[in-house]
């Protein structure tokens, strides 16, 4: 963690983002900085969040931005982060559970052998679950419990997906000249985990409702990134608005869900997917 000229941060309230080094992590960070929220970027990839911190500090000069390594699957690692900031009397009152394993569709990462149900791997299942679901539970447990001890209001926002309410349409991933039994698919774990995030969101929101902890989920649709032209075309056909999302199209939702603007809202799954899940 970079500790350059830290002013007196006593009782200052911060938002912590998990998996902040990825595609949407930066957007979540910018959203919060734009509304003057100080932030803590966490990820297992320290290099990515250190670079992001430097980049953000150029624009948001008066904000406090920390970057610190945290593995959401490891309770010790999460506790260490909590106590690092607790020692500085910093309060983490917003938690965005954003980390997930979402392998991108290129031949090297996803192929028929490592994605199809016929070749289901318990090892991969455990890996995906430990980040997407166990990680979300562990972070919620540690940061939520500490807020309650301090009798401070808090917000937990879980990042789900349009696949939290629909099943993946495997036709979009089809590649020509490959036999059916080896066609790549969206692996079974991702969608189950995202459906689980919705259940978890409802559980936490009711469990801690009398402790002033609100918990909601945000379900983005697919974001335009480095997908192949064929995949983009196939996805566009499934989306009533006829296009994928730009990565900055969730920023207003982040601002709404992570502030008192959503003060009467808990346990909900906000789906922003160009209409994909209603078709
Ligand atoms: N990008 C999309 O199209 C899209 C669409 C719908 C939902 N989502 C969801 O949005 C969230 C962010 O997606 P993204 O596209 O930015 O993903 P990404 O793969 O670009 O980033 C994920 C980040 O999580 C980190 N990470 C992995 N394992 C970790 C661990 N054990 N502890 C801490 N960090 C860990 C990675 O290092 C990476 O920086 C995810 O929950 C994803 O499922 C993304």
Enumerate the H helices of 95-228 as residue ranges: 112-115, 122-129, 135-149, 188-207
Atom of ligand 1 nearest to the CA of 45: 37
The whole-number pLDDT of residue 2 equals: 46
Q: How far is the CA of 5 from the centre of ligand 1 (A)?
A: 31
Q: Is residue 25 lining ligand 1, measured as CB closer than 6 Å?
A: yes
**What's the rounded Cα separation, in Å, for the pair 245 and 242?**
10
The whole-number pLDDT of residue 235 equals: 97
Burial class (CB in 10 A: 0-12, 13-18, 19+), 23: middle
* 63 pLDDT more than 80: yes
135-156 pLDDT per residue, tens? 999 999 999 999 999 999 999 9
**What's the rounded Cα separation, in Å, for the pair 220 and 273?**
6
Nearest CA to ligand 1 atom 30: 71
The whole-number pLDDT of residue 229 equals: 92
Q: Is residue 159 lining ligand 1, measured as CB closer than 6 Å?
A: yes
**What's the rounded Cα separation, in Å, for the pair 242 and 40?**
35
CATH of 13-105+129-176+187-278 given 3.40.640.10, 3.40.50.150, 3.40.50.2000, 3.40.50.720: 3.40.50.720
| Both tokens assigned to 88 | 């500085």
| Both tokens assigned to 235 | 């996805």
Nearest CA to ligand 1 atom 18: 22
Q: What is the pTM of this model?
A: 0.96
Q: Is residue 222 lining ligand 1, measured as CB closer than 6 Å?
A: yes
**What's the rounded Cα separation, in Å, for the pair 56 and 33?**
9
Q: Which residue has the higher pLDDT, 112 or 134?
A: 134
- 132 DSSP assignment: I
The whole-number pLDDT of residue 231 equals: 94
Q: How far is the CA of 142 from the centre of ligand 1 (A)?
A: 20
Mutate to test the pocket of ligand 1, among 19, 238, 274 (most ligand atoms within 8 A of CB): 19
Q: Which residue has the tokens 């090892």?
A: 123
Q: Is residue 23 lining ligand 1, measured as CB closer than 6 Å?
A: yes
* 119 pLDDT more than 90: yes
Nearest C-alpha neighbor of 235 from the set 185, 170, 164: 170
* 107 pLDDT more than 80: no
Q: Is residue 48 lining ligand 1, measured as CB closer than 6 Å?
A: yes
Nearest C-alpha neighbor of 147 from the set 68, 69, 215: 215
């Amino acid at each position: 963690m970079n500790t350059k000229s830290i002013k007196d941060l006593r009782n200052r309230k911060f938002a912590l983002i998990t998996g902040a080094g990825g595609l949407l992590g930066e957007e979540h960070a910018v959203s919060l900085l734009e509304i003057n929220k100080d932030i803590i970027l966490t990820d297992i990839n320290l290099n990515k969040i250190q670079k992001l911190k430097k980049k953000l500090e150029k624009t948001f000069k008066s904000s406090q931005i920390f970057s610190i390594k945290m593995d959401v699957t490891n309770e010790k690692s999460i506790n260490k982060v909590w106590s690092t900031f607790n020692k500085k009397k910093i309060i983490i009152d917003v938690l965005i559970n954003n980390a997930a394993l979402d392998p991108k569709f290129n031949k090297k990462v996803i192929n028929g052998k490592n994605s199809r149900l016929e070749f289901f791997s318990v090892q991969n299942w455990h890996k995906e679950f430990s980040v997407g679901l166990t990680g979300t539970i562990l972070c919620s447990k540690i940061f939520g419990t500490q807020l309650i001890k301090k009798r401070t209001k808090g917000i937990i926002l879980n990042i789900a997906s349009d696949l939290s309410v629909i099943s993946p349409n495997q036709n979009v991933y089809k590649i020509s000249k490959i036999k059916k039994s080896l066609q790549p698919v969206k692996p079974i774990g991702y969608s189950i985990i995202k459906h689980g995030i919705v259940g978890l969101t409802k559980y936490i929101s009711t469990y801690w409702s009398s402790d002033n902890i609100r918990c909601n989920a945000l379900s983005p649709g697919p974001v335009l990134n480095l997908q192949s032209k064929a995949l983009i075309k196939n996805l566009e056909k499934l989306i009533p608005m006829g296009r994928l999302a730009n990565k900055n199209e969730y920023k207003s939702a982040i601002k709404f869900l992570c502030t008192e603007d959503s003060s009467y809202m808990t346990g909900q799954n906000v789906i922003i997917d160009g209409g994909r899940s209603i078709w």
